[in-house]
Amino acid sequence: MSAFMTIDAATLHSMFKQDDLVLIDVRNDDEVARGVIQGAQHIPLSSLPQAFGKLSKKSSIVFYCHSGIRSAHAASYLAEHDYHDVYNLAGGIIAWANAGFTFSALK
């Protein structure tokens, strides 16, 4: 059975030191327009089935959304497709902001 790990905002913040970290925002376009966690790629959840093949199985992949529900679905999807280093940010960007971390415009 494939699984993913759920992490908190402080753990994600510490993971930024990793060279192989891939951070993916699965929110909708209108949500992303309000800001993203710096360094994130935007792949809407609905586009993940078409886009996941471009993600390296050698990377640590962290998904987030607004509150952690959609990103949990995304993490589960990748885990079911034999990705092993997959994480979900518990509480999403809300938890990130509540932990005192900043976000910025998508680049």
65 belongs to the catalytic site? yes
pLDDT at 14: 96
pLDDT per residue as tens, the chain (107 positions): 469 999 999 999 999 988 899 999 999 999 999 999 999 999 999 999 999 999 999 999 999 999 999 999 999 999 999 999 999 999 999 999 999 998 887 66
Note the pTM of the prediction, 2 decimals.
0.94
CATH 3.40.250.10 is right for the domain spanning 5-48+61-104: yes
CA dist., res. 17 & res. 3, Å (int): 23
Residues 34/40, Cβ–Cβ less than 8 Å: no
Phi and psi at residue 73, in whole multiples of 5°? -65, -40
Residue of 26, 43, 61, 65 with catalytic role: 65
